[in-house]
Amino acid sequence: MSWNEQADTLVKAFTEAQTKMWESWCDLIRTAPAPTMPSYSGVVDQWREIASQGLKAWTGESEQVVKDLAKQLVSAQDVGMRFFELSLSTWKAMAPKIESGQDWVTVLDSYSAQFRQQFLQAPHGGVAAVEGAAELWRLYLEQWQKLGQPWVESLRRAPRHFGQAAMGDGSAPIELMNLYWDAYERTFGRLLESPSLGYSRELNERLLKGFNAWLEFRRASYEYQVVLAETWAKAFEQLNHKLVSVAQAGEKVESLRQLLFLWIDVIEEAFLGVFRSEEYIRVQGRLVDTAMAYRIHEREIVEGFLKASHVPSRSELDEAYRRIYELGKEVKELKKALHGVTGGRSARRKVQS
């Protein structure tokens, strides 16, 4: 069988297997104890949606650890599927070239160079887009006094898109930009009217500082994603080298599982190597520090609004807890001193808060 025929046959087998999977998940859902959802015409992404809802139906009354484990199981299956889809698309791309007489090692190296380029485009493109928009947002921020909550929401939803971008999903940076514009429209695009708020120099200063902290965090996140994306690309190249050394040793990879575990070992080694580097440690430290700095500014902004609304804040509660803690310690010391007259260690047995 030629390379092209092999690739085509594999694609057909994979598609049939996906259909079978979708059918068996649908069977499972039809017999689930909880109410189910209508059936879909089958494609793999809809299988994922069905699997997710089927999980909820089957494990609805289970312990949390069981629910989490079931979710991990489906995720593991999903990872296997994604990996095989990636492998299949690689094989399909390579097959015509190998068929025409090129060496598979050269073809694979050239494919991974293209893959690396595609991977690295996503985070770098996002940096430029954010910097242009940031200037625009700053101008509007100086004119409007807004609650930053929608920005917090965008911050919380962003990591998923970062992850997808790191996987080479070209639409993920666009989704990220949409998040920011959406947050802008819902905040700076409308005036927040509240009798207890209104213009306040203190609030304005907090919002500006919070915004700066948020931008710093965004920049640090992108730097971090660039490092991860480079590592993914490096891992793919290392997989090629591994395949070459497997072939040179006269060994074969004869199962999906074997291929997947080979890939996991290679990628783990690639990431752990990067994790030890000074550059990664610096970038990770900056990511955490900017996230924490933003978190503190965010809290200060929220506390500004809470104060105006006569609601106790986190800082006030922490101060109260600190006083309780110090008083508790004082009481323990006093009890110890008081019971010390009864001698030795028996005093400590009385010390219970």
Partner 1 sequence: MIPFPLLLKPEEVFRQLTELNRKVVQGIESLSRIRHDEFRSGATAKEEIYREDNIVLYRYTPMVERPFHVPILIVYALVNRPYMVDLQEDRSLVRNLLKLGMDVYLIDWGYPTRGDRWLTLDDHINGYLNNCVDVVSERHALDQINLLGICQGGTFSLCYSAIYPEKVKNLVTMVAPVDFHVEEGLLNCWTGCAPGQKNIDIDLLVDAFGNIPGEFMNFGFLVLKPFQLSIRKYIELIDILDNKEKLLNFLRMEEWIFDSPDQAGETFRQFIKDFYQDNKLIKGQVKIGTKQVDLRKVSMPVLNVYAEQDHLVPPASSIALERHVGTADYTARSFPVGHIGMYVSGKVQQDLPPFIATWLKARG
Looking at residues 285 to 324 of the shown chain, list those that interact with partner 1 (rule: CB under 8 A).
Answer: 285, 288-289, 291-293, 295-296, 299, 314, 317-318, 321-322, 324
**CA–CA dist 197, 199 (Å, integer):** 7
Ranges within 12-41 binding partner 1 (CB under 8 A): 12-14, 16-18, 20-21, 24-25, 28
CB 94 within 8 A of CB 222: no
**CA–CA dist 227, 232 (Å, integer):** 9
Query: What sign does the CA torsion over 153, 155, 161, 163 have?
Result: negative
Work out how close the CB of 30 gets to partner 1 at its nearest, in angstroms, rounded to a whole number: 12
49 lies in the binding site for partner 1 (CB under 8 A): no
**CA–CA dist 122, 172 (Å, integer):** 8
Work out how close the CB of 184 gets to partner 1 at its nearest, in angstroms, rounded to a whole number: 25
Kindly tell me which of 317 and 334 has the beta carbon lying closer to partner 1.
317
Give the H or E element holding residue 164: helix 149-166
Work out how close the CB of 147 gets to partner 1 at its nearest, in angstroms, rounded to a whole number: 20
**CA–CA dist 123, 77 (Å, integer):** 27
| Count of residues near partner 1 by CB under 8 A | 93
Ranges within 76-105 binding partner 1 (CB under 8 A): 76-77, 79-81, 84, 98, 103-105
Q: Which of 113, 136, 272, 334 binds partner 1 (CB under 8 A)?
A: 272
CB 64 within 8 A of CB 71: no
Work out how close the CB of 135 gets to partner 1 at its nearest, in angstroms, rounded to a whole number: 27
**CA–CA dist 28, 57 (Å, integer):** 10
Q: Which of 43, 52, 200, 261 binds partner 1 (CB under 8 A)?
A: 261
